[in-house]
């Protein structure tokens, strides 16, 4: 990723889309490189521009945001997707995460929350509000790995410690500082955690930690 976070804004409501663009253009370190009004346009623009982050609406004509997310991640795994929507129901949240989005934010969030989430997603570290996480955990019944996948491997004590910090929303740099290790060491731990748990993102790993009660949403980090 370049020093500037290159962003593609996707929303079928032009007033919302242009409002987001106007706001983010004033943020240092962020560059709006394109916009799209539906999922099909989003896929085309992503192929053309290869942004660092896509702000993805979900309910759109022609192609919805979930299918667009799935296609983009299949073709361009390095593109990180932050869902920005008015819907927090599990028929939207869980399919979005399964499709490859690593962040999920509601449109009534504050500008500061949005900017923070973009920075997290740009680093590949995910962003999931506590309220959305609670709703997911309240309704998820099936394990995160499918029957076709091998069962998750047991984490080492050190990996479990890293996973707990990930679930609390700490970045790699913050984890490195707290554990007094290098960023490279944390990166290695995170990669092994994702592999052992058979998940594709930090967001899914954090949900795993919460579901397995390794951490609690109510405890202080």
Residue 34 parent element (H or E): strand 30-36
Of residues 9 and 139, more confidence is placed in 9
Taking 60 as the threshold, does the pLDDT of residue 58 lie above it?
yes
Q: Which numeric CATH code is attached to 142-211?
A: 1.10.10.10
Taking only the tens place, the pLDDT of each residue in 142-155 is 444 444 444 457 88
Taking 90 as the threshold, does the pLDDT of residue 191 lie above it?
no
Q: Which residues, 6+ apart, have CB-to-CB distance to 96 below 8 Å?
A: 58, 65, 66, 69, 83, 104
Q: Which residues, 6+ apart, have CB-to-CB distance to 181 below 8 Å?
A: none
* Cβ–Cβ < 8 Å for 136, 93: yes
The residue among 199, 182, 91 whose CA lies nearest residue 145 is: 199
Taking only the tens place, the pLDDT of each residue in 89-135 is 666 777 888 888 988 888 888 999 899 999 989 988 777 765 565 55
Domain positions in the chain: 5-138, 142-211
CATH code matching the domain that covers 5-138, chosen among 3.40.50.2300, 3.40.50.300, 3.40.640.10, 2.60.40.10 = 3.40.50.2300
Token look-up 């979930």 returns 66
Residue 172 parent element (H or E): helix 172-179
The rounded mean pLDDT for the chain is: 83
The residue among 45, 112, 111 whose CA lies nearest residue 81 is: 45
> How much is the pTM?
0.69
Of residues 147 and 63, more confidence is placed in 63
Q: Report the C-alpha gap between 184 and 172 in whole angstroms.
A: 9
Cβ-based neighbour number of residue 142 at 10 Å = 8
Beta strands 30-36; 80-85: pairing state? unpaired
pLDDT in the model for residue 145: 44
Q: What is the mean pLDDT of residues 148-166?
A: 77
The residue among 114, 104, 5, 111 whose CA lies nearest residue 57 is: 104
């Amino acid at each position: 990723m370049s020093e500037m976070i290159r962003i593609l804004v996707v929303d079928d409501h032009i007033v919302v889309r242009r409002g987001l663009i106007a706001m983010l253009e004033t943020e240092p370190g962020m560059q709006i490189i394109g916009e799209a009004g539906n999922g099909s346009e989003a896929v085309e623009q992503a192929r053309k521009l290869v942004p660092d982050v896509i702000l993805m609406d979900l309910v759109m004509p022609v192609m919805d945001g979930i299918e667009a997310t799935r296609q983009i991640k299949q073709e361009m795994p390095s593109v990180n997707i932050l869902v920005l929507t008015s819907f927090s129901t599990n028929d939207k949240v869980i399919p979005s995460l399964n499709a490859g989005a690593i962040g999920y934010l509601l449109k009534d969030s504050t500008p500061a929350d949005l900017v923070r989430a973009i920075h997290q997603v740009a680093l590949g570290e995910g962003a999931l509000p506590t309220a959305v996480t609670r709703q997911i955990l309240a309704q998820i019944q099936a394990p995160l790995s499918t029957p076709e996948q091998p069962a998750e491997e047991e984490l080492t004590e050190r990996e479990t410690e890293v996973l707990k910090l990930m679930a609390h929303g700490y970045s790699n740099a913050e984890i490195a500082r707290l554990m007094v290790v290098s960023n490279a060491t944390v990166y290695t731990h995170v990669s092994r955690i994702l592999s052992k748990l058979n998940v594709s993102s930090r967001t899914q790993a954090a949900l795993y930690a919460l579901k397995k009660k390794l951490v609690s949403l109510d405890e202080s980090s």
